[in-house]
Structure 1
Amino acid sequence: PIHQMSGGSGFNEVFFTDVRVKDSQRLGGVGDGWKVSLVTLMNERLAVGGATGAGWSQFLEAARDTTGADGAPLLQESAVREKLADWYVQAEGLRHARNRTMTALSKGQTPGPESSIGKIVSASLMQDLANEAVEMLDQYGIINDPDLAPLSGGFHGSLMMAPGLRIAGGTDEILRNIIAERVLGLPGDIRLDKDVAFKDVPTGR
């Protein structure tokens, strides 16, 4: 288990040495291991993209209950309201995108590269919202004790978890490439090893 700054161990590093798998247990055709891996990754990205933390509605309540230097609720500040509007639009876009994917799954289809959109948006949204919330709560934002912190430490937990979500299932940079090439149809990056088997890729040794 890899210990994370959130206190959990959601990531693990596993090593297999001299493993042999019976052919009856093989998934996909011989030489199609990458295709099987891609399907697994697509499902993982779909799951990670559906990760939920403290959302815009919880932030709205916190902003309504938190006062600024003038004694007025922070919800009255235009900058806070603009942020809330942006997060609401992103959250609604994600919700509709997930519904679209769930409809496809119900028809027996496999999650496609569009699942990368949900993951990259939701992870960034979680990090941005949690960071703003912790800053807004001022000295209370550093409290991570669920018994004492606002929203039982939900904003703090999201802030600690979001960086990991931006790595799990493919980093932001990888997902942007996937979206550009496989969803938008833009020209791909030049890769000299694109059609070379991994075992044949030159190494530094």
Structure 2
Amino acid sequence: MGTTPTGIPGKSTSVNLLLGLLRPTRGTITLHGRGPDEAVRAGELGAMLQDAALIPELTVKELVDVVRRLYPRPLGLTEILELADLTELAGRRANKLFGGQSQRVRFALAIAGAPRILLLDEPTAAMDVESRLRFWAGTHDYAAGGRTVLFATHYLEEADEHSDRVIVIARSRLAADGTAAEIKAGAG
């Protein structure tokens, strides 16, 4: 099932369990009282995976609009494009996007259903510095609406700068849990 030698799920397995893409071998997973499948269908959980493919023939606007219409209470198309900093790229086909631009489209697709929990897996991979700054600004704006943003990253400076709480997993074990300042202080 993708567990580590200790039997504890690693990062990718944990993300897949939360999304309902894998089933736990024991125990249960609930998000706001719902199983992962139901939470995703209801628009409670959105995810930006690090390697999700885009439909190449569609424009950014068409792609975002198609996905947002799958949810019961989606964000408005204009709001999504603004949060993801895609307004200027709305007419561009997905196969004409650069790496960081594609990541911003993945972010737009993840927030399209207005999820209360947003899961980001290595969200700034392939982004240049300016794209990262824009991305985090949009993420902070999204979270300011009372939503939870959970992100997995290997970029410790991003965890330090953009999170209220940091959980460090090392060798499949919880190594630290607290604010970035608390973890730094404990690391000596």
Tell me the TM-score normalised to structure 1 length: 0.27
More strand by share: 2
More helix by share: 1
